[in-house]
Amino acid sequence: MWTSGVTKGRLRAQVGLSVMVVLFINGSTGLVCYTAVESLDLGCLLQWDCPHASPNTTYTVQTKTQGDPWQDVAWCVWVSSHSCDISQVFSNFELYNMIRLGVHLSPISTVWIKPRKFDYSDFTFSPPSVSVSLNDDLLLVKVQFPCAANRRCSMQRCCPITEMIDPWTTVTVYNTLNHSEHQTRTVWTQEVVSYVDFSGLSPGQSYCAVANFSFPTFSMAASPKSAPQCVETVSKSGLLPVLCLGIGLTSLLLVTLLTVFLKKTRRPAPATENQAKPPVSIQDQVSLLPLSLVPLDPCDIHVELDDDHISTESSSSLPSNQDQASTCGELELERGLDSGISIPPVSQSSDETCG
């Protein structure tokens, strides 16, 4: 009887132990660890807390992208820490990305906590930075985005988040003295830097620009606004001195060019062959004519010497035949001497001809 009682007691103890193990296992799986994700500028940090786990418990983290199987995060396998930076794991934020935590109860037993998704609802961003420049009445706003925490980019340089996503960028320009005067534009940024311009600004006013951005198609995942950058537009009265100075300099240049041009045009033109020559005197005309072309008849010429000037008169003015003959001889003699040609004395026939 005692033997049978002992046997029944051992059986009950084994059954009770088995129930306790089952309850322990069920309890361990039911006491889910608390997980949380922190994401700044597309980074991802998983943190967890398992309050009922042993201090010696180790953990493994796995990730899964839409269409791919679960994969271990190489630097978060059998770790005793309570966090894992998986920023460099995810690269496509348009797909579903999942994370799960594994609790190792023994070397051969691992309990996986319910997976959780990693998407835009976890995203937070740093504010962008803006710079403004004024060209006449056009205000240009340049928006620069924060560096991404994702390790897909080189660690030695800033990798703007626009290299991984195409955010919506909203820029607002407002009048500092009258906030009701403002303009807002939203653009889809597909470049590393975004440029937005504004026109129609009032002269002589101070304008400031602020910007923020959001994850594409999900405006709820938006960054804070940037620090304002301001610029003052030039007033019309301020343009007057500049305009007057420009007109004065232009006028001075034109006057200088006109003066140089007039001086060049007033210089005497060089003598040309077609320029009119001074009139030639009668004596020069006579001396220039060749003797062979001038038929000389002493009866038709009368020469008078008056202060070394030679004049010609009509033969009708001769007083007498004798005087005319002597005059003809003197004329021939003088012409011969002047021209260097010897002329024979007038013959008798000449006298007769004169008669």
Domain spans in the chain, listed from the N-terminal domain onward: 13-122, 126-236, 293-354
Identify the band that residue 278 occupies on the pLDDT scale cut at 50, 70 and 90.
Answer: low
Question: In the Cβ-directed half-sphere of 307, how many Cα atoms lie within 13 Å?
Answer: 0
Least confident piece of the model among 87-96, 179-188, 253-262, 337-346: 337-346
Residue 103 has pLDDT above 70, yes or no: yes
Per the model's pLDDT, the better-predicted residue between 329 and 37 turns out to be 37
pLDDT in tens, 31-49: 579 999 999 999 999 999 9
Identify the band that residue 152 occupies on the pLDDT scale cut at 50, 70 and 90.
Answer: low
Residue 162 has pLDDT above 50, yes or no: yes
Percent of the chain with pLDDT over 90: 41
Residue carrying the six token digits 């630097």 = 75
Residue carrying the six token digits 């998704």 = 117
Residue 267 has pLDDT above 90, yes or no: no
State the pLDDT at residue 313.
44
Residue carrying the six token digits 């301020």 = 238
Q: Over the chain, what is the mean pLDDT?
A: 75
One-letter identity of residue 148: A
For residues 175 and 197, give the distance between their C-alpha atoms in angstroms, rounded to a whole number. 15
Extended beta strands in the chain, E state: 34-40, 45-49, 58-65, 71-72, 83-85, 97-106, 109-112, 116-118, 123-124, 129-135, 138-144, 168-175, 182-188, 193-198, 206-215, 218-222, 229-232, 303-306, 309-312
pLDDT in tens, 190-218: 999 999 999 999 898 999 999 999 999 88
State the pLDDT at residue 117.
93
Query: Hey, is 189 helix, strand or coil?
Result: coil
Mean pLDDT of 172-185: 92
* Closest of 95, 70, 67, 72 to residue 84, by C-alpha: 72
One-letter identity of residue 271: A
Percent of the chain with pLDDT over 70: 61
Topology annotation, domain 13-122? Immunoglobulin-like (2.60.40)
Residue 224 has pLDDT above 90, yes or no: yes
State the pLDDT at residue 136.
78
Identify the band that residue 299 occupies on the pLDDT scale cut at 50, 70 and 90.
Answer: low
For residues 251 and 206, give the distance between their C-alpha atoms in angstroms, rounded to a whole number. 34
| Long-range contacts of residues 236-243, Cβ cutoff 8 Å, at least 24 apart | 236/203, 236/204, 237/204, 238/204
* Closest of 140, 148, 190, 198 to residue 169, by C-alpha: 190
CA 60, 61, 64, 68 torsion-angle sign: negative
One-letter identity of residue 181: E
Identify the band that residue 256 occupies on the pLDDT scale cut at 50, 70 and 90.
Answer: confident
CATH of domain 126-236: 2.60.40.10
Per the model's pLDDT, the better-predicted residue between 267 and 62 turns out to be 62
Name residue 186's beta-bridge partners.
Answer: 170
pLDDT in tens, 63-72: 999 989 999 9
8 Å CB contact between 117 and 183: no
State the pLDDT at residue 31.
56
Residue 10 has pLDDT above 90, yes or no: no
Residue 167 has pLDDT above 90, yes or no: yes
Per the model's pLDDT, the better-predicted residue between 325 and 302 turns out to be 302
Residue 179 has pLDDT above 70, yes or no: yes
Q: Same CATH topology for 13-122 and 126-236?
A: yes
